[in-house]
Amino acid sequence: MIKKINLKLIILSVLSLCAVAASGFGGYVLYHIIPSGFQSRHAEGPKVLTELLQMAEQSKPFNPDPYIASTYRPDNPLYQPVLEIQRHRWDIAEKLLKPLVEKGNADAMFWLGDITYGSGLYSAGPAAKLFQQSAESGNPYAALRLDIDNSDCQRFMSGYCNEKWGRLGRKILKQRAENGDVKAAYYLLKLDIDVYSDSAEVHQKLEQLVTENAKQHYYQPLMNLIGYYVRHGYYGPFLDKGSLVDEKDIKITNKILTLLVNNNYPLALSTVVIEGESVFPKKYVDKVMRQLEKIDVNYYSCLDYFFLKGEKNRSNIVNLASCAITSDKFLHRNYNLSSLRMDLENENLDALTEKELAKARRLSNERISQMTPVIYIDEMNPANL
């Protein structure tokens, strides 16, 4: 009799546990599948960005200030070292940053910590120390790099991650936001967004902050947002993620993209060149490519424009070689020119002659002398190490 009772109890317990598990799983599924107010607002598409659309329609190529969208201008002591970081020349950047760090420059501490992080087996301690010094000197982005929830911190600096740094980062961001820093306000909001439970009002606040940042020519938030619209990304409803994007939405995002392009934001210019004539008028793409050559060194945009989508004539090949030489010169390597030589061989095209190489080098020197490089990386969007 006792055995029978125990068996019944066991069966009832198992069934109860199964019911609880099924209920929990069902709740989890519903939580992710039923759109939140935030996701429903996002699903309305980029047409809600009315002020940005008006700004795009009023913009013209190109803003006469080449540095309008640059994180730093040439008169800022951080301009050259951060430009070298963007070009992946951390050896040069380190030499330029160390004197600034010794003078107590909190932002220089952040950038030196950024290139020290992950650079070697014993880099965690020195990088964490620099982030700590930067955070204590008032840089919120350095503090956030040491937050216990930061995946980069957990990856290489797990022994230095602590909740107190996350609290400090938020505190400084909040102070800056209250003083009118819309970049700080944007990232403070981003830290707390839960797309599965937030309201439509939170998305509207996001739209507002993206717009205010664009007015100040900080375009990374807008670049991210229009990317979410055309990819049905993280912000959209769960059931929409595999569906095709509406053509009207694509046209609107491309129109907004021209606002960034016309204000010399390199990532947007590269996007237009890659999309090419299938999306934008040929004359506009040609203008954009010429402008891109002035503000950024991007061999892959050149490859796309002069070789993959352009005619493979000798003039285009020399221009591409010039771009490869320029890029290799800044990166201190010979990779792109070697890659071009292999591409020519694979396409059964004649190799570059000495005369063509001489012309490409001359064009490269001319390009470098006329460049006004724009920095598009920043503390929340650093170069990939």
pLDDT at 211 over 60: yes
Q: Euclidean distance between the first and final Cα of the chain, in Å?
A: 69
Check residue 119 and give its pLDDT.
Answer: 75
| Cβ-proximal residues to 70 (8 Å cutoff; 6+ apart), any chain | 79, 264, 374, 375, 376
Q: Which residue has the higher pLDDT, 2 or 334?
A: 334
115-118 contacts, C-beta under 8 A, 24 or more apart: 115/85, 115/90, 115/385, 117/145, 117/152, 117/156, 117/157, 117/385, 118/155, 118/156, 118/385
State both tokens at 258. 């021209």
Kindly state the percentage of the chain with pLDDT values over 90. Answer: 79
Q: Average pLDDT for residues 25-36, to the nearest whole number?
A: 59
Degrees, nearest 5: CA angle 272-231-222:
60
Q: Average pLDDT for residues 159-172, to the nearest whole number?
A: 97
Pick from 307, 308, 301, 263: which is nearest to 285 by CA?
301
CA distances in angstroms from 374 to 69, 70, 239, 283, listed in the order given: 7, 5, 39, 23
Degrees, nearest 5: CA angle 38-42-48:
120
Confidence of residue 238 (pLDDT cuts 50, 70, 90): low
Length of the chain measured in residues: 385
pLDDT at 351 over 80: yes
pLDDT tens-digit map of 267-321:
999 999 999 999 999 999 999 999 999 999 889 999 999 999 888 999 999 999 9
Q: Which residue has the higher pLDDT, 50 or 31?
A: 50
Confidence of residue 51 (pLDDT cuts 50, 70, 90): very high
pLDDT at 232 over 60: yes
The crossing angle, in degrees rounded to 10, of helices 314-331 and 335-346 is: 150
Check residue 15 and give its pLDDT.
Answer: 62
pLDDT tens-digit map of 174-191:
999 999 999 999 999 999
Q: Average pLDDT for residues 247-261, to the nearest whole number?
A: 96
pLDDT at 1 over 60: no
pTM recorded for the entire structure: 0.89
CA atoms within 13 A on the CB side of 186: 20
User: Across the chain, what does the average pLDDT equal?
Assistant: 90
CA distances in angstroms from 226 to 134, 189, 213, listed in the order given: 32, 18, 14
